[in-house]
């Protein structure tokens, strides 16, 4: 086999040029392998790749507070309509008991509607509004209202695997979004704009 980047003699005595395409593919593979290994050694990234099964790899989205005491895990950021109903939002919250102490921790789904540019807001005037579509207490366990919904939804594979990996601090949750909720919309202004997206978006 010809080594990439070298010129070798072939059987007819002529010299063959290096396979530049194969060289490029190998370089890309080495770069991606290095990035993956670098990520596995870091726990501060917002997006993680976790192997649920030997042949199945999914993307897990993670968001943490600056002090790392509270983290949120989701396995999806798109929840389409199916048979006239929205997909159930399932995720995990990881809470450090020493950080929250005896305070309540809520999990909420917010609808954000921005109808104007953020850089044109002056004198306290804002071109956005927000609505809380769902709100549940998830901590402490004895006061958690999310338990009322847990019996309706069995743990997903994503939640089960992550709970075994993280431990007792992982709290699963489910949310149902009304089918009457508007779809996500993103409008691109004619002028250059780097503020909050204009349109409709959802936050957990």
Summarised one tens digit per residue, pLDDT across range 151-184 is: 678 888 889 999 999 888 889 998 888 888 888 9
CA distances from 16 to 13, 20, 25, 78 (A): 9, 12, 19, 50
Residue 13 tokens read as: 């005595």
What does the domain layout of the chain look like in residue ranges?
Answer: 18-203
3-state secondary structure of 40: helix
Query: Mind listing the pLDDT tens digit for each residue in 103-123?
Result: 899 999 999 999 999 988 988
**Model pLDDT, residue 66:** 92
Q: How large is the average pLDDT for residues 145-149? A: 71
Q: Which CATH number fits domain 18-203: 3.65.10.10, 2.60.40.840, 3.30.420.10, 3.40.50.300?
A: 2.60.40.840
In the structure, what pLDDT confidence band is assigned to residue 21 with cuts at 50, 70 and 90? low
- Largest Cα separation within the chain, whole Å, is 81
Q: How large is the average pLDDT for residues 36-64? A: 52
**Model pLDDT, residue 141:** 81
Whether residue 172 contacts residue 163, with contact meaning beta carbons closer than 8 Å, is answered with yes
- C-alpha span between 172 and 174 (Å, rounded): 7
**Model pLDDT, residue 100:** 87
Residue 55 tokens read as: 């042949």
Q: How large is the average pLDDT for residues 55-75? A: 82
Question: What value does the mean pLDDT of the chain take?
Answer: 76
């Amino acid at each position: 086999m010809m080594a990439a980047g070298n010129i070798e003699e072939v059987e007819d005595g002529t010299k063959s040029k290096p396979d530049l395409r194969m060289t490029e593919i190998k370089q890309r593979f080495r770069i991606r392998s290095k990035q993956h290994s670098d990520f596995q050694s870091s726990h501060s990234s917002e997006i993680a790749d976790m192997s649920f099964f030997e042949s199945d790899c999914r993307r897990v989205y993670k968001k943490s507070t600056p002090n790392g005491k509270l983290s949120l895990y989701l396995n999806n950021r798109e929840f389409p309509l199916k048979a006239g109903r929205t997909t159930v939002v399932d995720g995990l919250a990881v809470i450090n008991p020493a950080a929250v102490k005896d305070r309540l921790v809520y999990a909420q789904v917010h609808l954000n509607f921005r109808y104007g540019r953020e850089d044109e807001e002056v004198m306290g005037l804002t071109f956005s509004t927000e609505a809380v579509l769902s709100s549940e207490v998830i901590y402490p366990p004895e006061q958690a209202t999310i338990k009322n919904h847990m019996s309706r939804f069995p743990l997903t594979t994503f939640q089960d695997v992550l709970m075994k990996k993280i431990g007792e601090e992982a709290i699963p949750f489910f949310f149902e979004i009304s089918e009457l909720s508007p779809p996500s919309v993103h409008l691109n202004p004619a002028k250059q704009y780097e503020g909050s997206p204009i349109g409709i978006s959802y936050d957990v």
